[in-house]
A and B are shown apart, each in its own frame.
Chain A
Amino acid sequence: MENEKENKGILIYAEITREGTLAPVVLELANTAYDLAQKLGGEEISAVLITKTGNIEYIKNELRNNGFDKVYIIQDDRLRDYSTELYSKIAIDLVRQVKPSIFLIGATTQGRDIAPRISSTLNTGLTADCTGLDINEKGQLAATRPTFGGNLMATILCKNLPQMASVRPKVLKKASEPRVKDTQFIDFPSNIDGIDKKVEIVEFIKNFQAASGPRIDEAEIIVAGGKGLKSPDGFKLLEELAQVLGAAVGASRPCVDAGWADHAIQVGQTGKTVMPKLYIACAISGAIQHTVGMSGSEKIIAINKDPKAPIFGVADIGIVGDVYEVVPELIKMLKG
């Protein structure tokens, strides 16, 4: 343990996206951190922000409006792209100096890449993809997460400090009202001179699907298709519905395997786990490999020809019918 008695406060990893904006999950974590800090008797909430040199006034404002007491800023031209080696080194240096008792990270691609590297270096515990965070009667972080493909929930405690946890985007809610603070912004040295970077991004190809409509992991509504569509044409229909609803399109594994849809939009065990406000399952039978990736959706509507399809078991409302007949009618009604 690294000087257990001194550790205090909640630190949040303020992830910056490729576009240089603050990842939305940071504000979701800030809102939950506020509740945790209250339960701990009003401990401090701070953020670590690692990014390239440049104007970050907009980000500072967002943090100021979301209850952060302190923000440690590390800016350096060599931090243009996210790098496991450089970013984890800086975060570890900072945690060793700031000594938080809790360290929260968004379970995004970047978060899932950096978090285990940090926890393993600090020999502390990291509970991944939590769906609930609380403080127990002993003042410890009680992190609850699903395991065994969502079949079992486990509440996990950590013996060492800081107690680390990650949460996927959209699982927690950001504060509904601004929580304005007189945030202290503190420059922190990068100390990355002499690091021989071993991994380089040679090229980045922006996902075509991400260019139009919301990204599947950020969408509030998802319209997803299954093998019952029987042809790639079905996805054109679903895209039309998605456009009307401002939704993202998803797919079950058989459609991806058949080449009708890209793996980037696959929902389920070997794809993405999504928790939108509404999931519309079109011609998806509902095998457990699929439902583990979407059953956390707030509301589920299922359309399937087979009245016995297991998807109806997790749906709030099920329509027995042909997607090719029902969906065009629905699009017409919504447009009308």
Chain B
Amino acid sequence: MKVALCIKQVPDTADIKWTENNTIQREGVESVINPFDMYAIETAVRLKENFKDVHITVLSMGPPQAQDILKRAISMGVDEGFLVSDKKFAGADTVATSRTLATAIKEKVKDVDLIICGQFATDGDTAQTGPSIAQQLNFPQVTYVKEIVDYKDGFLTVKREVEDGIEIIRTTLPAVLCMLKCDYEPRRPLINGFVKAQNAQINMYNAEDIKLQPEQVGIKGSPTYVSRAFRPEQKQGGDVITPETPQKGAEIIKEKLKEFEIVK
């Protein structure tokens, strides 16, 4: 089974700093692998451990420094990786991004059986790229996946978490899975994984290499554009009170519940 794993480098949203002009400062902000993609990597590696003949290729669209996250994935047990990188890709929205990734998979991971993505990225948080990749390739999709349960007779069985419960889903391959946070944690890099990642050759492909025209990618290929970006109103914290007794504390809360019209 040929698996393509799509991951993204995101700024650590816990570490956002502002410039004097109220724009997000991007220099010096630490970049991490999107947390949901870490579960996608772990799930792919588990699939490789549990079933025969699974080969995983990890890919990302991003600047040259995004090679780091591909190497990190390789250190966790992924077989190989490549980066799609081109200045023309800048400003891509989810439609242009998914077109680029889907085309890269078609061109460079021929006859792919399974594509695994994270459900959301913590920077954009749109949850759209996975389903859009599926649409571009005309593959079925399963979103909100918690776990791959089984792979037998060409069918993949997965567990999916929805608002009102858990669905057990069976799909044919090829297919796209979008991973939520799993019940297991992503593994740390293996010692020999570090060595493998160090020596791994990360190929870089531009728009031309994957046969995409400039008007299909980046800001030109994007149906949406940002007309205005601004800092949200900062909420000011209210009073912080240290009550003399727990009863006093409870009374203060009860008064607030009345004020907020929660209780009478």
Report yes or no: B167 in contact with A148, Cβ–Cβ below 8 A: no
Report yes or no: B171 in contact with A198, Cβ–Cβ below 8 A: yes
Using an 8 Å CB-CB cutoff, how does the interface string of A125-157 with B read, 1 for contact, 0 for none?
A: 111110000001000001000111111111111
Check B165 for interface membership: any CB of A closer than 8 A.
Answer: yes
> A151-B24, A270-B35, A270-B181 are contacts. A84–B123 as well, Cβ < 8 Å?
no
Docked CA distance A159–B169 (Å): 36
Check B172 for interface membership: any CB of A closer than 8 A.
Answer: yes
Docked CA distance A201–B132 (Å): 21
Chain A positions 283-314 with a Cβ under 8 Å from a chain B Cβ: 287-289, 292, 295, 298-299, 301, 303, 307, 312-314
Check B68 for interface membership: any CB of A closer than 8 A.
Answer: no
Smallest Cβ distance from B180 to chain A, in angstroms? Answer: 8
Out of A115, A123, A307, A317, which one reaches B128, CB within 8 Å? A115
Report yes or no: B238 in contact with A152, Cβ–Cβ below 8 A: no
Using an 8 Å CB-CB cutoff, how does the interface string of B161-195 with A read, 1 for contact, 0 for none?
A: 11111111111100100001101010000000000
Report yes or no: B241 in contact with A314, Cβ–Cβ below 8 A: no
Report yes or no: A207 in contact with B165, Cβ–Cβ below 8 A: yes
Interface of chain B: mostly helix, strand, loop or mixed? mixed
* Stretch of A35-43, A96-104, A227-235, A327-335 that contacts chain B: A327-335
- Residue from B141, B164, B230 whose CB has the most chain A CB atoms within 10 Å: B164
Report yes or no: A295 in contact with B143, Cβ–Cβ below 8 A: no
Chain A positions 229-246 with a Cβ under 8 Å from a chain B Cβ: 245
**B123: which A residues are within 8 A, CB to CB?**
147-149
**B95: which A residues are within 8 A, CB to CB?**
119-120, 123-126
> A115-B128, A125-B93, A318-B240 are contacts. A149–B122 as well, Cβ < 8 Å?
yes
**A158: which B residues are within 8 A, CB to CB?**
223-224
Smallest Cβ distance from A89 to chain B, in angstroms? Answer: 11
**B170: which A residues are within 8 A, CB to CB?**
199-200, 202
Chain B positions 144-169 with a Cβ under 8 Å from a chain A Cβ: 144, 146, 157, 161-169
Interface of chain A: mostly helix, strand, loop or mixed? mixed
Check B249 for interface membership: any CB of A closer than 8 A.
Answer: yes
Q: Which residue of B lies closest to A286 (CB)?
A: B237
Report yes or no: A147 in contact with B124, Cβ–Cβ below 8 A: yes
Docked CA distance A198–B156 (Å): 11
Docked CA distance A120–B128 (Å): 9
Check A109 for interface membership: any CB of B closer than 8 A.
Answer: yes
* Stretch of B73-81, B198-206, B256-264 that contacts chain A: B256-264
Docked CA distance A327–B225 (Å): 48
Check B62 for interface membership: any CB of A closer than 8 A.
Answer: no
**B13: which A residues are within 8 A, CB to CB?**
148-149, 151, 269, 288-289, 292
Task: Give chain A's interface residue range (CB within 8 Å of chain B).
Answer: 35 or more
Docked CA distance A40–B58 (Å): 46
**A121: which B residues are within 8 A, CB to CB?**
135
Chain B positions 112-147 with a Cβ under 8 Å from a chain A Cβ: 122-132, 134-136, 140-144, 146
Docked CA distance A98–B243 (Å): 61
Report yes or no: A206 in contact with B165, Cβ–Cβ below 8 A: yes
Docked CA distance A328–B95 (Å): 51
Check A326 for interface membership: any CB of B closer than 8 A.
Answer: yes
Report yes or no: B227 in contact with A321, Cβ–Cβ below 8 A: no
Report yes or no: B94 in contact with A126, Cβ–Cβ below 8 A: yes
Check B20 for interface membership: any CB of A closer than 8 A.
Answer: no
Check B16 for interface membership: any CB of A closer than 8 A.
Answer: yes
Out of B168, B223, B249, B252, which one reaches A123, CB within 8 Å? B223
Docked CA distance A158–B238 (Å): 39
Using an 8 Å CB-CB cutoff, how does the interface string of B216-259 with A read, 1 for contact, 0 for none?
A: 00000011111111111001011111110011011111101100
Docked CA distance A136–B243 (Å): 49
Out of B122, B126, B231, B238, which one reaches A315, CB within 8 Å? B238
Chain A positions 6-20 with a Cβ under 8 Å from a chain B Cβ: 17-18
Report yes or no: A287 in contact with B238, Cβ–Cβ below 8 A: no
> A128-B128, A320-B242 are contacts. A112–B143 as well, Cβ < 8 Å?
yes
**A299: which B residues are within 8 A, CB to CB?**
256, 260
> A198-B175, A245-B262, A334-B263 are contacts. A217–B254 as well, Cβ < 8 Å?
no
Report yes or no: A263 in contact with B183, Cβ–Cβ below 8 A: yes
Report yes or no: A325 in contact with B143, Cβ–Cβ below 8 A: no
Report yes or no: A317 in contact with B238, Cβ–Cβ below 8 A: yes
Q: Which residue of A lies closest to B144 (CB)?
A: A109
> A116-B128, A292-B13 are contacts. A210–B165 as well, Cβ < 8 Å?
yes
24 contacts across the A-B interface (CB closer than 8 A): A113-B141, A120-B98, A124-B223, A125-B95, A126-B126, A128-B127, A129-B125, A148-B123, A149-B122, A155-B227, A158-B223, A199-B175, A202-B168, A204-B166, A210-B163, A277-B260, A288-B13, A301-B256, A303-B253, A312-B237, A314-B235, A316-B238, A319-B241, A321-B249
The 10 A-B pairs with the shortest beta carbon distances in the complex, nearest first, are: A149-B13, A125-B224, A329-B250, A125-B223, A325-B246, A318-B240, A116-B128, A116-B131, A330-B250, A120-B132
Besides A126-B94, A153-B230, 5 new A-B residue pairs in contact (Cβ under 8 A), listed by A number: A120-B95, A206-B165, A207-B164, A288-B13, A329-B246
